[in-house]
Every structure is written in structure tokens, then in C-alpha cells.
A and B are shown apart, each in its own frame.
Chain A
Amino acid sequence: MLSVHEVTTAYQGLVAISAVSIEVQKGEIVCVAGANGAGKSTLLKSIAGAERPRSGTVTFDGKRLDGMAQHHITATGIAYVPENRRLFPRLSVRDNLRLGSYLYRGEANREEPLDLVFTLFPRLSERLEQRAETLSGGEQQMLAIGRALMTRPRLLMLDEPSQGIMPKLVDEIFQAVKRIRDAGMTVLIVEQRMAECLEIADRAYILQTGRVLMQGAASEIIGNPDVRKAYLGL
């Protein structure tokens, strides 16, 4: 479904990821793990069009994405939830969600994914009139995922969804990711919390200093003694 081929992205001459290749099949949950600065966020940005790769190709269902404008990439069916969530802080929860369905304005069933969003995150439905900035960190993450779901993605990309969130809600969000996959979507997730991420993922990649260090089934990686020692502290 998604194929990233030897993508290199640099910021002002500093190479953040170098010749990274990953594959995501339809219906999978794929986890990209790695330490801070390994290039995980850059990888997602390069796919989403928020950064322009210096070289390499990104293809999504046979369509070349590299070089395409970011809003066009969203319209092809990739929803991207960035690390800092990028909600519209002074707009209400309702308006944030409605903006998610902007591409479907004028359609009668534009609010269709709302049912799924409220099933996954019932607390959002209680806070519809609140400004997004008044939500807690966990709720903001839920809203960011909810807004992304409103764009009706086939592929959902999450950057560090657990960041800055209390442990109880982290669990809730990972459970939601599983249910999003069960609803027919594909999920590519980038995380520092490798243990939780590998638990729900089908396959995983480990990035280190901008390169793919290891890849395979999540169960294999979680069982690898080196990984256990270096990343999981076991």
C-alpha cells in the first residue's frame, strides 16, 4: 500500500534520514521505533509532504507522493497526526472535527466517521463546545486522531501519540489504534515507547541515526535479545 524507497531528507544540509526504505501493507499496524533523534518524525514528515525528501520515492497505492503538496497528499487518503498535534487551539472541539471533514463539504454524509470517533473517544462527545486548548494532553491527542479520522484516511500516521500523556490514557489510545485498524484502516505509528507499540503492531522497523537498523515481525523484534537489552531495558 505504502512504499518508501531509499528516502533521504536533510535539514539545512544535516541529513536526518538516509536511504530509508519501509513498506506498509493494507490492514497492518506498523511501528517505527527508535531513540530520540533517530529520524522517526522526519520519516513521517517526508511521507506526509511536510518535508521534501532530497532523494528517493514515496508511493501510495501506485501514486507518487514525493514532491506533491501536503494538502493534496491528505486528499489521497493519508491522515497525519504530527508530534505536537497541531490542533486549532481557539476553535471548539466541534469545529476542529468539522474541519477534519473539510474535503467532504457539501456532502450529506460528511460527518459519517463521527460515530467511530465518539465510540473510540466518548469523552470528546462530552466536550464538543470546549475550546481545543482547554483539553488535557490526552484529550488533545484524542481530538487530533479524531480530526484525522474525519478526513476518511486509508492510512493513518501517528507521531508519538503517547507523548505528554498520563499512563492510563496511553493505554486507551493504543487500544483505539487497534480498533481503528479493525475498522478497516492501516496504521503507521512512530513511538519511543517501544514495548507498548510492539505489543499492538504487526511489523516493526527500528531506526538508528537516520538508518533502518532492524526490521521484521513485531513478535520477532520483541524477542530479540539485543533489542531487549538496548531498547526495552530487560
Chain B
Amino acid sequence: MGLLYGLIAVGLALIFGLMDVTNFAHGEFLMIAMYLSFFLFAFFAIDPLLSAPLVAAAMFVFGAVVYLLVVRFAMRAKANAGMVQIFTTFGLAILMRGLAQFFFTPDYRSIPQSWVGGKTISIAGIFLPAPQLIGALVSILAFAGLYLFIHRTDFGRALEATREDPGAVALVGIDKNRVFALGWGLGAALVGLAGAIMASFFYIYPDVGASFALIAYVTVALGGFGSVFGAFAGGIIVGLVEATTALVLPPSLKSVGIYAVYLLVVFIRPRGLFGSM
């Protein structure tokens, strides 16, 4: 589960690190991805695992469009730019939730039969739920892919340069708006991938994003602002803390451990475990 938290948080950290904009609609991106996965299953009987790349690609386009049509204009604000961005993405979140309630109804939905749902895999005598295991695997692959993309390709280097100084990339002929759109697309694709995997073992409803988004913000803050690697590592830590807490405290309190560790880190090391800011 921690790896999936990491994957969700990486998408958030990527956008935040790139342009100092916190996407408060991140959880709703997750929700949309889960519904996409659900509908692909319900109408076309495509298994969530199979449709995951499709969902990620659709979310990439969605993220880029959200940047180009909404966030780009919010960033032009001359006064109080930070506030404008917060309220814009927050507003977007509420809009998306509202639309989801209207079109998809507030009913809880689930994908009853998927290839991996409800199955377990035994490794050295320990039984692990298959969906979570696949999720972990996909997360690691996605993160490795992202790492290679950032460090080995020209677009990745452009991404890093834009994150360093968005005002300077035009000096070498890079259009910062394209890089920002790419960043939003990537961030949305990552959370989309997470959503697609989670659709096979979580209930899907319009508010589902909220609790995961909250954990994602904690994860980003824990791992260190602006650090994609930190966000991923933070996700793993959050997952482990959650699992450990669930062993000692009643299950209903399993989130308490996460927030306790988060507070501890913020007190001792405000920039997060791997943050450089």
C-alpha cells in the first residue's frame, strides 16, 4: 500500500516541484481515474490491470488540458498568486466532485471480478493480497520509468531546468508552458495509474479521492517538498507506519500513526526527510 501512496504522492510532488503549485484536485484526479477504470470494466469488460495504461494515457491528456485551460490562467494573477492557485485547484476539486455526484451518482461501486481481485499470493509461506502486490510492482516500475525519463531524456532535462528557473528556459528555446503541461500530464498519469490499480480493490465513489489526497499531502511533506524521490520514499514510510499502527491500535485509528510521524518529522526537520528546500 505504501508504494501506491508513493505513486500518488509522486504525481503531486512532480507538479509542486515543477511550478510551486499545489494541486488540491489531486484526489479528484485519482477519483476520475478510478471511475474510468470502472466504466472500462463495466461497459467493455476490460480488466483494470489491462486498462491501466489506457487510463494513465487518458489522465495524461486530462492533466495537460487542465493546465492549459485552467491553471495557466490562474498563474497569471498579478497579486496574491499563491492564493489564486490554491482556490483555483480547490475549486476544480469541488467542481469535479460535484460533477461526479451528478453523473455517476453517489453510489458506491466496485469491480467485482478482476483477474487479481480477492486472490492471494503466497511468498515463502506468507499470504499477500494479489492486487496490492501487483500495485506495488506497478508502482516500482512506474517510478523507475519516471526516474529514467527525468535523467535520460531531453524532455526530462527540460523538466529539471524549468523547475530550476522557469523564466530562463526560453533562453535555450524551450516553451515553459509546454513543459508545465507535460508536468501536469505526467503527474495526472501517475495518479491515474494508481487509481486504475486501486479500482480493483477499493470502493469507487465521488469522495474517494479526499482521504487519499490527504495522505498524499502528508507524504509529500514527509518526503520533502519538491523531491520526487522523497515523495516515493515518503509513501513507503507512510505505508509501513500505517500497517504497524494497525497492529497495535484498533483499525479505526490506523491513520493516527501517519499523522503522528508526520508531525514529528515536521517538528524536527521542517523541510522533510529528503527535502532540499
List residues of A whose CB falls within 8 A of some B CB. 49-50, 69-71, 74-75, 79-82, 86-91, 95, 98-100, 102-103, 105, 147-148, 150-151
Which residues from B are CB-within-8-Å of A74? 170-173
CB pair B172–A102 under 8 Å, yes or no, is yes
Query: Roughly how many angstroms separate A105 CA and B168 CA in the complex, as a whole number?
Result: 18
CB pair A102–B158 under 8 Å, yes or no, is yes
Output the nearest chain B residue to A106 by Cβ-Cβ distance: B154
Which residues from A are CB-within-8-Å of B169? 71, 99
Task: Tell me the smallest distance from the CB of B258 to a CB of chain A, in Å.
Answer: 30
Query: Roughly how many angstroms separate A47 CA and B17 CA in the complex, as a whole number?
Result: 31
Output the nearest chain A residue to B162 by Cβ-Cβ distance: A88
Query: Roughly how many angstroms separate A98 CA and B171 CA in the complex, as a whole number?
Result: 13
Q: Which of B165, B168, B171, B175 has the most CB of A within 10 A?
A: B171
Q: Bits for B146-188, please: 1 = Cβ < 8 Å to A, else 0.
A: 0000000010011011001101111111111000000000000
Query: Roughly how many angstroms separate A147 CA and B171 CA in the complex, as a whole number?
Result: 9
Which residues from A are CB-within-8-Å of B171? 70, 74, 79-82, 86, 147-148, 151
| Among candidates A79, A99, A150, residue contacting B161 with C-beta atoms closer than 8 Å | A99
Query: Roughly how many angstroms separate A148 CA and B172 CA in the complex, as a whole number?
Result: 7
List residues of B whose CB falls within 8 A of some A CB. 154, 157-158, 160-161, 164-165, 167-176
| Among candidates B158, B161, B172, B175, residue contacting A151 with C-beta atoms closer than 8 Å | B172
Output the nearest chain A residue to B151 by Cβ-Cβ distance: A95
CB pair B161–A71 under 8 Å, yes or no, is no
Task: Tell me the smallest distance from the CB of B204 to a CB of chain A, in Å.
Answer: 40
Which residues from B are CB-within-8-Å of A88? 160-161, 164-165, 168
Which residues from B are CB-within-8-Å of A75? 173
- Known pairs A71-B169, A99-B172; list 20 more (Cβ under 8 Å): A69-B175, A70-B170, A70-B171, A71-B170, A71-B175, A79-B171, A81-B171, A86-B168, A88-B160, A88-B168, A90-B164, A98-B154, A98-B157, A102-B154, A102-B157, A102-B158, A103-B172, A147-B172, A148-B171, A151-B171
Which residues from B are CB-within-8-Å of A87? 168
Query: Roughly how many angstroms separate A47 CA and B171 CA in the complex, as a whole number?
Result: 12
Name the 10 nearest CB pairs between A and B, nearest first. Answer: A86-B168, A70-B170, A74-B173, A88-B164, A71-B170, A103-B173, A105-B154, A71-B175, A88-B161, A75-B173
Q: Which of A69, A80, A99, A100 has the most CB of B within 10 A?
A: A99
Query: Roughly how many angstroms separate A49 CA and B171 CA in the complex, as a whole number?
Result: 10
Which residues from B are CB-within-8-Å of A71? 169-170, 173-176
Which residues from B are CB-within-8-Å of A70? 170-171
Given A74-B170, A151-B173, residue A86 in contact with residue B154 (CB < 8 A) = no
Task: Tell me the smallest distance from the CB of A153 to a CB of chain B, in Å.
Answer: 10
Output the nearest chain A residue to B175 by Cβ-Cβ distance: A71
Output the nearest chain B residue to A104 by Cβ-Cβ distance: B173
| Among candidates B157, B167, B175, B176, residue contacting A99 with C-beta atoms closer than 8 Å | B157
Query: Roughly how many angstroms separate A105 CA and B158 CA in the complex, as a whole number?
Result: 11
Which residues from A are CB-within-8-Å of B174? 71, 99, 102
Task: Tell me the smallest distance from the CB of A110 to a CB of chain B, in Å.
Answer: 9
Given A95-B157, A105-B154, residue A100 in contact with residue B164 (CB < 8 A) = no
CB pair A91–B160 under 8 Å, yes or no, is yes
Q: Which of B165, B168, B172 has the most CB of A within 10 A?
A: B172
Query: Roughly how many angstroms separate A74 CA and B175 CA in the complex, as a whole number?
Result: 10
Output the nearest chain A residue to B169 by Cβ-Cβ distance: A71
Task: Tell me the smallest distance from the CB of B175 to a CB of chain A, in Å.
Answer: 5
Which residues from B are CB-within-8-Å of A81? 171
Query: Roughly how many angstroms separate A150 CA and B154 CA in the complex, as a whole number?
Result: 15
Which residues from B are CB-within-8-Å of A49? 170
- List 28 A-B residue pairs with CB atoms under 8 Å apart, sorted by A's residue number: A50-B170, A69-B175, A70-B170, A71-B175, A71-B176, A74-B171, A74-B172, A75-B173, A79-B171, A86-B165, A86-B168, A86-B171, A87-B168, A88-B161, A88-B165, A91-B161, A98-B157, A99-B157, A99-B161, A99-B174, A100-B172, A102-B154, A102-B157, A102-B158, A103-B172, A103-B173, A147-B171, A150-B172
